[in-house]
Structure 1
Amino acid sequence: MLAKFPGHRPQAVEEIHESVLSYKQSHTPENTAMTAENNASDKALELMKNFAEKYAQRTGTYFCVDPSVTAVVIEGLAKHKEELGAPLCPCRHYEDKKAEVDNAFWNCPCVPMRERNDCHCMLFITEDNDFAGDKQEIELDYVKEVAASMKG
């Protein structure tokens, strides 16, 4: 239950829980650009984790109250960085990933995030958002654990 996560907003926890579950179900590896066949390397995970932490701190944004959302997105970004050479947003479907990387619109941080603090993936969340936690850091071991759990 999300109530165990510090920093959640005082409101209907069940409502937030349902929304996060819905988000997680719609952002499964089968529904996004991520696959569980070969997860990102530990080095790539660490690089993307460090990037995400620094970017959140620099922009005054926070990670999701449910840290598994943060971990899944970091894993997807790390995988794309290795496969495509850029951290293409893992929460969208692309007909041609390479063309999208070259276009750079959805490379993290994407244009909507840079211009409006609007992160579709819920990696960088403004403090006024109901899903914002109070963390701008995440443990690498936790990211690795979540990534490993995505292996079929």
Structure 2
Amino acid sequence: MAVEILEAMRQFAESYAKRTNTFFCSDRTVTAFVLEGLAKNKKDLGSPLCPCRYYDNKEEEVVSSYWNCPCLPMRERKQCHCMLFLTPDNNYTSISQEISLEELKTLLDT
């Protein structure tokens, strides 16, 4: 995985969480794996397509932009299927809107 793309997705996620008053999952591995999936899709498809869904045709999904992060359900209703952006009332939410690149690397190496 290109560190630059992972870092871009990390910065995007932190910024978006702060802007929308959402928080990362209390299980930091969830955050790490979702960010890795977004980075992989950004690299392979040119867009951060939601990595937690199955698609018959990923290229068509990218063009429709419905599941590009932040996806339409997240933008409209603050519903994140991936559990990357959680509202304060969610049982799995943490108090964190930040994750360091070093922590991401450590979590993804295990």
TM-score per shorter chain, which class? over 0.9
CA distance in 2: counterparts of 1:110 and 1:76, whole angstroms? 14
RMSD: 0.8
Structure 2: give runs of 5+ residues left out of the alignment. none
- Please list the CA deviations of residues 6-60 of structure 1 after superposition, one character each: whole Å capped at 9, or x if unmatched: xxxxxxxxxxxxxxxxxxxxxxxxxxxxxxxxxx210001000000000000000
CA distance in 2: counterparts of 1:45 and 1:146, whole angstroms? 13
Alignment of 1:1-150 (within 5 A): 40-149=1-110
Q: Which of the pair has more CA radius of gyration? A: 1
- Please list the CA deviations of residues 104-127 of structure 1 after superposition, one character each: whole Å capped at 9, or x if unmatched: 000000000000000000000000
CA distance in 1: counterparts of 2:105 and 2:3, whole angstroms? 7
Number of residues paired by the alignment? Answer: 110
* TM-score of the pair, normalised by structure 1: 0.71
Structure 1: give runs of 5+ residues left out of the alignment. 1-39
Range that drifts further, 138-147 or 40-49: 138-147
CA distance in 1: counterparts of 2:16 and 2:71, whole angstroms? 12
State the identity %: 55
Which residue type is aligned with residue 128 of structure 1? D
* TM-score of the pair, normalised by structure 2: 0.97
